[in-house]
Amino acid sequence: MPKTVHIGLTSPHILARTRGAHHDRSRYALTMAMFAFAFAILCARLVFLGLGPQQSADAEKRGQLSTALSRPTIVDRAGNILATDIVTGSLYANPQKIVHLDDTVEQLIAILPFLDAGTLRRKLSSEARFQWIARKLTPRQQAVVHELGLPGLQFAAEPHRVYPAGAEAAHILGQVDVDNKGLAGIEAWVDRAPRIERPERKSSVEAGAVRLSMDLSVQHAVREELVAALARYRAKAAAGLVLDVHSGEVVALASLPDYDPNRRGQALGKDQFNRLTSGVFELGSVFKIFTVASGLDHGVTSMEQGYDAREPIRVGSHTISDFHAKKRWLSTPEIFIYSSNIGSAKMALDVGAKRHREFLARLGLLDRIGTELGDTAAPILPASWKRINTMTIAFGHGLSVTPLQAAAGAAALVNGGYRIEPTFLFRSREEARVRRERVVKAQTSELMRYLFRLNVKRGSGKRADAEGYRVGGKTGTAEKVVRGRYSRDALLTSFISAFPMDDPQYVLLVMLDEPKGTKETGGRATAGVNAAAASGRIVERIGPMLGIVPQLDTKPAFDEAVSASY
């Protein structure tokens, strides 16, 4: 029988082939798994990059390069934006990544000609890894630089302060530095005030706005009339403010020459200071309102009493005389409307130096006033308050104060007798009532309102009589000190007024520095022909804006009383 050969699964040849195939499949699977793993990592990385966390981190890092602060928006009492932040691009460089130094410098200078070539070259060739090149570029400048594609240059987002109204309210708002830090005005106050919320890379509006007492429409009218007066009377400077007599709010304040806070360099001029809060002046006969009020309040005079003004007063080497001498006995109202230096000096002597000084102090005329713009300039007082000082201060010589102090003091004389500290922030009259302090008798205030109006109807303030608005006020023409002596050729004219005098709501102060006589004024340069006239034009414009209804058809009862009594 033939021998049978059995070939099974355990054959050595088949077993070897089986093992080889299995090994190949394992290696193939392992290789595929490795490729799949690597592909998955690559995809994950691409997805991660695509979602932008690294870009966001880089952007955040670039944003943190900026030291500029975000600031709250500032608005006027009606909500009009006066100052706000916008986002701008600031150009910086990593000098270590600059490829072609000369080419980079040349192209940047062509686009940004305000850069200094030498300084730029030093920055781009330094060993540092960060150098600011240009801060707060315009969108167009940023786009053109970006299109160059120069290595080593990047942009950081920074808040940039802008003032939509330009120079309109420069001396109220102040300005900021390149890092958006307040330098002056309300901007500096914002940095000092802990309760002001500072936005963190959010829009300023979201963080809440700082609301001022200023009315932009009134501010524009006041400033525009001051600009016109500056040109009309060829004055060196002009200033004006409007103050709410019941709330103490400064509704408008302008001091010329001024500047555009969008262009910080303009604020550096020596004449661009705020004359109303930072300048002190002898205001001349304007001060007679405080002298007469003191005499009436202390009962040393009355509307029926008066003083002999026939002869000048001689005190040592000093002679006190009247500019427009009547050379007769003058009643208290006549002393006021004829602006008698003799009568005012005698009245102050009757009040007494101590009581006269205390009265001025109660009105806030002898100390700094604290406001959101900072403390006012310190008044210049006599080193020793003697009898002669009382006499000269009575008619506005020998004591220098800021115009804001004078306006605030005048407000107390017409608002019923209450002193209220001025503010540049919105404040309701209800809130102001808890802050006010009586400094003058109600009867004195009533008499002063009468005298204010009488001076516009019969005295030196006639040109301020804006029809229908019952303006009242007092003029002041002061000789400035030039080379140690009073000069008749260098005058400071001012007019403090209130309106409407039957129910005063606002005080207006207008001041002109060294105005010149014109054909219109008959060659004169005194306050009655310039500061008073400018005040009348301002009242006619701002009266309707402030809600004061002019009485044109009938003669007001208050005017009837003034006319009947004089």
Catalytic positions are 285
Among 355, 354, 346, 359, CA closest to 305:
346
Nearby residues of 448 by Cβ (< 8 Å), 6 or more positions away: 289, 292, 293, 296, 413, 414, 440
Q: CB count, 10 Å around CB of 31?
A: 10
CB atoms near residue 7 (< 10 Å):
8
Strand 437-438 versus strand 418-419 pairing type: antiparallel
Question: In this structure, are residues 137 and 224 in contact, taking their beta carbons and an 8 Å threshold?
Answer: no
Nearest-angstrom CA–CA distance, 71 and 202: 10
Angle value at C-alpha 503, between 498 and 509, nearest 5 degrees = 10
Burial class of residue 418 in the structure, from the number of CB atoms within 10 Å of its CB (0-12 exposed, 13-18 middle, 19+ buried): buried
CA distance 167 to 188: 17
> Token pair of 537, please?
């034009």
CA pseudo-torsion sign 62, 68, 71, 75: negative
**CA gap 322, 343 in Å, rounded:** 9
CA neighbor of 253 nearest in space, from 301, 220, 278? 220
| H-assigned helices in 256-365 | 288-297, 332-337, 341-351, 353-362
| Burial (CB count <10 Å: 0-12, 13-18, 19+), residue 205 | middle
**Separation CA 533–CA 226 (nearest Å):** 11
Which of 323, 338, 335, 245 minimizes the C-alpha distance to 291?
335
258 backbone φψ class: left, alpha, beta (φ>0; ψ -120 to 50): beta
DSSP state letters, 548-564 = -----SS--HHHHHHHH
Q: Which amino acid is at 25?
A: R
The DSSP secondary-structure symbol of 166 reads: G
Q: Which residues contact 78 (CB under 8 A, 6 or more apart)?
A: 215, 216, 217
Alpha-helical (H) ranges within 497-554 are 531-545
Q: Which DSSP string do the residues of 508-525 spell out, in sequence order?
A: EEEEEES----TTTTT--
